[in-house]
Amino acid sequence: MSGLEERPARPTHDLPAHTYGARFAQALAFANACHEAQARKGNGVPYVTHVIAVASLVGEYGGDEDQAIAGLLHDAMEDAGVTAAEIEERFGAKVAAIVEACTDTVEHPKPPWRARKEAHVAHVRAAPADVKLVVAADKLHNLQTVARDLRRRSVGASVWSRFKAPREGSLWYFGAMIDALADGWDAEIVDELRAELASLTSH
């Protein structure tokens, strides 16, 4: 690995095509530190796996480096207490604005679930496309995780018990969020969200 570590970071304006730069690597390390000692709900998997997956989906569906970085940091305000000002200072105003828009609350304890989710859905409905892609990638990874866990012998239907809302409430939230994302935004990741949600509702 030492060869990689010694390779100098290129400035963003000098990157070859199809390459994320030093900011992305810094954001990956920062996200790993932010979510240190946090696990995914219910399954004990290191939390950072989720934000890496979200950043990957953002890239796979055409997001730029700022959006991929926002994918890495999208839960840092809500779940790790990082401020928008710190994200702006480290990674710029665009990343900070996307992460803020992905955050449904920074209050602790979190306000009541249904009203908080309704407000977040309304906020996402009015959000610009660069924000919507990161929110969509977050929800897609959450749906993919649930769908896979439903098929796992070690989890199955008990997957629903890890959510604050029971199965019906969780399905309402995913459906409402997908409709809000699709409002004024015609994107292929929305097709994938709908397909994944449809596969869940058959369980």
**Using CB under 5 A as the criterion, which residues of the chain lie in contact with Mn ion when the complex forms?**
75, 138
Question: What gap in Å lies between CA 114 and CA 100, rounded to an integer?
Answer: 20
- In three-state secondary structure terms, 39 is strand
For residue 39, the cross-strand partners are 46
Least Cβ distance, residue 142 to Mn ion (angstroms):
7
Least Cβ distance, residue 113 to Mn ion (angstroms):
16
Least Cβ distance, residue 155 to Mn ion (angstroms):
19
If the CB atoms of residues 66 and 75 are measured against Mn ion, the closer one turns out to be: 75
If the CB atoms of residues 41 and 194 are measured against Mn ion, the closer one turns out to be: 41
Cβ–Cβ under 8 Å, residues 104 and 118: no
Least Cβ distance, residue 103 to Mn ion (angstroms):
10
> Token digits for 130?
């660069």
Q: Which residue has the tokens 């969020």?
A: 177
- Amino acid identity, residue 60? E
Least Cβ distance, residue 163 to Mn ion (angstroms):
13
If the CB atoms of residues 65 and 138 are measured against Mn ion, the closer one turns out to be: 138
> Token digits for 114?
């249904």
Can you say whether the dihedral through the CA atoms of 72, 95, 171, 111 is positive or negative? positive
If the CB atoms of residues 75 and 192 are measured against Mn ion, the closer one turns out to be: 75
If the CB atoms of residues 65 and 75 are measured against Mn ion, the closer one turns out to be: 75
Q: What angle do CA 158, 172, 70 make, to 5 degrees?
A: 90
If the CB atoms of residues 136 and 200 are measured against Mn ion, the closer one turns out to be: 136
Nearest position to Mn ion, beta carbon: 138
- Tell me how long the chain is: 203
Q: Tell me how far CA of residue 14 lies from CA of 10, 20, 106, in angstroms.
A: 6, 11, 37
